[in-house]
């Protein structure tokens, strides 16, 4: 009864599409086009159709998918790139790679996504200080929910800034039926195994409808090729995806819309059963989240006791993220917007994520819900 359940179960999906994936793998291995094989180009076409952008470029990771557009735009020392602090390190890491300055911006306490007002404040401060040139905003779709793109796009337009959607967790999420592609210059995503749309290793993709940008990024992805691969016209990287991962993703993309629906249904069930005791991440009106994580807030003083009580019932919980980036050793010397990011600080003490994946059956959901209700009561008593 108290056998631990997995936080994310990849084996249920594997069982569902085992035959199709195994057939795809055998074909790639037999045919031998391990790099830039036909599945790469098929996947790029299908992702474009899915995501509503003219062009998709698949690459080796979600991190490369963020770095490539910054490289293509010539982001360099002296440039400012605005990023949320309450996110995974890769969002800011790529900015530092290029010698540019990540400016950490706060998030909203209910949606956990970039706060447009604080973004405006951060841009104003950079302009006033006059040392850095504002160039790009990277908005993150945290835990699967699209950021407030209409508001963020308007701010970007007012200042001539490019907008990247870091959709590593939220690829496929929509606001009023539209994906981030309706507002962003580039949508980047990751296919790391724990992400909602994932391969069996590392992989990523970026999408754009800017034809010239896409051509430069294709070149950068493969060592900056010019007329052919031994003619190098810019400093690039080896950023290719393996053909095997593309073959796997073709089968996974086919069932992804159904999986998003399953995640929405599980999240709705969790919310109905727990909202009297904890505060879940709030969705914007008309939002569909891919629910990369199902995350709730509870008083910071009760979190450790709650997690221990869940563990004793065999239900794992995880903290995303226990330390915002502006507090991390590698990033704390970079600027923060005006007020010092109190919401990111507060959230890092309050959030905790429950098991979530598309194949969580009703009985397991019941077990998570029952364990959560008991554990919340225990944690409240202990406090």
Interface residue list for ligand PLP (CB under 6 A): 61-63, 87-88, 90-91, 140, 166, 168-169, 190, 192, 202, 204
Nearer Cβ to ligand PLP (169/317): 169
Angle between helices 38-51 and 243-274 (to 10 degrees): 30
C-alpha pair distances (Å), 83 with each of 20, 53, 259: 39, 23, 29
The DSSP code for 144 is G
Under DSSP, is residue 318 helix (H, G, I), strand (E, B) or coil? strand
Shortest separation between residue 90's beta carbon and ligand PLP, angstroms: 4
Cβ–Cβ contacts within 10 Å for residue 184, how many?
A: 29
Task: In whole angstroms, give the CA distance from residue 50 to residue 68.
Answer: 21
Provide the angle, in degrees to the nearest 10, between the axes of the packed helices 362-382 and 243-274.
60
**Between 88 and 306, CB nearer to ligand PLP:** 88
Q: Which is nearer to ligand PLP, 183 or 191 (CB)?
A: 191
Nearer to ligand PLP, 87 or 365 (CB): 87
Minimum Å gap between C-beta 305 and ligand PLP is: 28
Q: What is the CB neighbour count within 10 angstroms for residue 155? A: 19
- Which residues on adjacent β-strands are paired with residue 225? 232
For residues 199 and 14, the answer to whether their CB atoms sit within 8 Å is: no
Using the minimum distance from each CB to ligand PLP, give the nearer residue, 190 or 336. 190
**DSSP state for residue 225 in the 8-state scheme:** B
Q: 340 with 357: CB under 8 angstroms? A: no
What are the tokens at 40?
């790469």
CB closer to ligand PLP, 114 vs 168? 168
- Concatenated DSSP letters of 183-222: T-SEEEEE--TTSSS--SS--EEEEES-HHHHHHHHHHHB
At its nearest, how many Å lie between ligand PLP and the CB of residue 92?
9
If one counts every other C-beta atom within 10 angstroms of the C-beta of residue 260, the result is 22
End-to-end CA distance of the chain: 28
Query: The tokens of 173 are what?
Result: 């999420």
Q: Which is nearer to ligand PLP, 62 or 102 (CB)?
A: 62
Side-chain half-sphere of 226: how many Cα atoms within 13 Å? 6
Q: Which residue is nearest to ligand PLP (CB)?
A: 62
Distance (Å, rounded) from C-alpha 278 to C-alpha 215? 48
Question: CB 26 → ligand PLP: shortest distance, Å?
Answer: 26
* Shortest distance in whole angstroms from residue 83 CB to ligand PLP: 10
What minimum distance in Å lies between the beta carbon of 204 and ligand PLP? 5
Least distance (Å) between residue 334 CB and ligand PLP: 17
Closest separation in Å from C-beta 167 to ligand PLP: 8
* Pick 115 or 202: Cβ nearer ligand PLP: 202
Q: Shortest approach of ligand PLP to residue 166 CB, angstroms?
A: 5
Least distance from C-beta 66 to ligand PLP, angstroms?
6
- Shorter beta-carbon distance to ligand PLP: residue 90 or 351: 90
Distance of CA 226 to the CA centre of its chain: 32
Cα separation, 42 vs 40, in Å, equals 6
> Can you name the residues that pair with 163 across neighbouring β-strands?
137
Q: Which is nearer to ligand PLP, 147 or 305 (CB)?
A: 147
């Amino acid at each position: 009864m108290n056998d631990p359940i997995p936080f994310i179960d990849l084996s249920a999906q594997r069982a569902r599409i085992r035959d199709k994936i195994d057939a795809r793998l055998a074909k790639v291995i037999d045919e031998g086009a391990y790099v830039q094989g036909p599945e790469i180009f098929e996947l790029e076409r299908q992702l474009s159709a899915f995501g509503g952008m003219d062009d998709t470029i698949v690459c080796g990771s979600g991190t490369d998918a963020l770095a490539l557009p910054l490289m293509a735009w010539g982001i360099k020392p002296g440039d400012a790139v605005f990023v949320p602090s309450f996110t995974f390190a890769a969002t800011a890491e790529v900015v530092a790679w290029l010698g540019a300055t990540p400016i950490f911006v706060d998030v909203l306490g209910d949606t956990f996504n970039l706060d447009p007002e604080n973004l405006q404040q951060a841009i104003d401060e950079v302009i006033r200080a006059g040392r850095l040139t504002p160039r790009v905003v990277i908005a993150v779709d945290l835990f699967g929910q699209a950021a407030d793109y209409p508001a963020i796009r308007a701010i970007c337009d007012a200042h001539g800034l490019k907008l990247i959607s870091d959709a590593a967790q939220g690829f496929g999420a929509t606001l009023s039926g539209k994906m981030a592609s309706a507002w962003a210059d580039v949508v980047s995503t990751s296919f790391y195994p724990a992400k909602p749309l994932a391969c069996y290793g590392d992989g990523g993709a970026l999408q754009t409808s800017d034809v010239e940008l896409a051509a430069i990024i294709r070149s950068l992805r493969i060592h900056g090729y010019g007329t052919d691969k031994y003619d190098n016209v810019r400093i690039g990287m080896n950023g290719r995806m393996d053909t095997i991962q593309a073959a796997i993703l073709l089968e996974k993309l086919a069932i992804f819309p159904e999986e998003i629906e399953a995640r929405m249904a599980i999240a709705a069930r969790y919310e109905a059963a727990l909202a009297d005791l904890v505060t879940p991440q709030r969705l914007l009106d008309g939002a569909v989240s891919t629910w990369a994580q199902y995350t709730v807030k509870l008083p910071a003083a009760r979190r450790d006791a709650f997690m221990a009580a869940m563990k004793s019932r065999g239900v794992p919980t995880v903290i995303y993220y226990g330390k915002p980036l502006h507090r991390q050793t590698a990033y704390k010397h970079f600027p923060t917007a005006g007020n010092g990011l109190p919401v990111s600080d507060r959230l890092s003490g309050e959030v905790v994520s429950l098991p979530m994946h598309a194949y969580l059956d009703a009985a397991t959901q019941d077990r998570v819900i029952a364990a959560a209700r008991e554990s919340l009561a225990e944690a409240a008593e202990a406090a």
